[in-house]
Amino acid sequence: MKIARVRDGAVLLGAHTPLKALYSFRDSGFLQLRNGASLHPRISPLTVRFKSFFHEQSKVEEKKMKKCDFSCGFSFYSDFDGGKASDWDFVVVNFYRFVYIKDPEEEISKHLSFLQGRDIHGRVYVNEQGINAQYSGPSKDALSYVEWLKQDRRFSDILVQISPALSGHAFPRLKLQYKPSLVQLEGGISHLPLLDPAMRATPLAPSEWRKRLEAVNNVEKTSFRADRSDLNRKLLLLDVRNGYEWDVGHFQGAPRPDVDCFRSTSFGLSESGLTASDPLAGIDKEHTDVLMYCTGGIRCDVYSAILRQKGFQNLYTLKGGVSNYLESEGPVEWVGNLFVFDSRLSLPPAAYKSEAAAEGEAELVSENSTFARCYICGSQIHELRHRNCANLDCNLLFLSCSNCVKELRGCCCSDCTYAPRIRPVLPGHQRYQKWHIYRDAEVQSQSVI
């Protein structure tokens, strides 16, 4: 469906065009069809409930539609069949854009001014190369920030990722500041030609990414037998994340990255080409398609510019990262959960489907996972979510079975159990708080005794 034009909050459609998309309305907004029919929805931040009528020829499509996807990455949900699609009270929003910002400090000032009085927590970094944001907040506040940003032509078509935060804020506070590097990498990224799309990898839509993976991982699939050129061409799937992220979820066929921090990533940079842990070592830079993926896309974009300078010619990234893929294609070719850098730590694919998330069905346990192992004893586990070592001075993120959690009191090894600053074992999926909270609680308990 093509949107003819947008005016005063209205989306003008063809007379018989099935309703496949919606626009972000204000409370006074309406949807007008060119045959004269108009819809006056009752609006809430993430749910649109229709009380009005559709053109007769659109009723069949109306009943089928459950989810409306937007080019900006929003997802709105409707209840055409009388069902109830609950709003998310809190959401986490992610977006980035490489674009020249002449005066970053002035840009930051504008953002701070807009956010005054709004309940936004998270990280928003700005510099001359653009913006990178991950934040949480009540739906109304979180989405109003996006709407405000998109009024700027530089960000009007920015891809926005939205996911539920069922336990409230996913970040402790707001950090909106100038950052020399939008992502942290050894040596910085200010020297990279990130503003030139030709110097970065070619972005693939989730559907195209899925097609390529299916062609490689299941060569017997009849829909791809005709195109033998795709199957004969060399392809390498590169996970541009950390090893502990891979441990809870990854694309099938992607080798585990031997990296503990993106800052130290060095794939394809060895001059000798003999590094055993480097999946790019020794490959044909001219005739190998390198498919790169990460959580939201920015790390791949940055690293592709480095690889381009190193002579890699056929570089492709997953547009919007894994989060965009799961929302668009579901868990096809994906196994496990998705690691996220906020208090939730891990999200199952179901979290990107509003019906499951709203009803609390976004479980962190996968009965079908066979790759995840306990860091301590090596046994197979199904709870795909890291915990931090109870030893504050270690704080290692690791996967653990329930027996090892109990035996080592939440620590990652026996040595940590004797450390001077040990936090209590956390039940369930809680996150540790600041050390002073546990320290002060211990002091208070001793004074009572």
Rounded to 5 degrees, φ, ψ at 233 are -75, 140
- Are 111 and 144 in contact by the 8 Å Cβ rule? The answer is no
CA 349, 350, 352, 357 dihedral sign is negative
Cβ atoms of 316 and 202 within 8 Å: the answer is yes
How far, in Å, are 70, 85, 182, 229 from residue 327 at the CA level? 11, 17, 25, 29
DSSP state at residue 425: P
Report the C-alpha dihedral over residues 64, 329, 76, 317, rounded to 10 degrees: -150
Close Cβ partners of 381 (under 8 Å, ≥ 6 residues apart): 369, 372, 373, 374, 399, 400, 401
């409707």: which residue's tokens? 78
Run of H or E including 148: helix 139-149
- The DSSP letter of residue 406 is H
- SS3 assignment, position 439: helix
Among candidate residues 72, 294, 300, 401, the one labeled active-site is 294
Distance CA 142, CA 354 (A): 17
Interacting residues of 20 by C-beta distance below 8 A, sequence separation 6+ = 1, 61, 65, 68
Token pair of 169, please? 């804020």
Q: Does residue 294 have an active-site annotation? A: yes
- Residue 308: enclosing H or E segment and its boundaries? helix 298-309
Rounded to 5 degrees, what angle do the CA atoms 15, 20, 25 make? 90
Matching residue, tokens 């080798």: 255
CA distances from 233 to 289, 318, 365, 413 (A): 8, 19, 37, 45
Burial of 275 from C-beta contacts in 10 A (0-12 / 13-18 / 19+): middle
Residue linked to tokens 């940079």: 269
Q: What is the dihedral of CA 310, 314, 315, 318, to 10 degrees?
A: -170
Active-site annotation, residues: 294
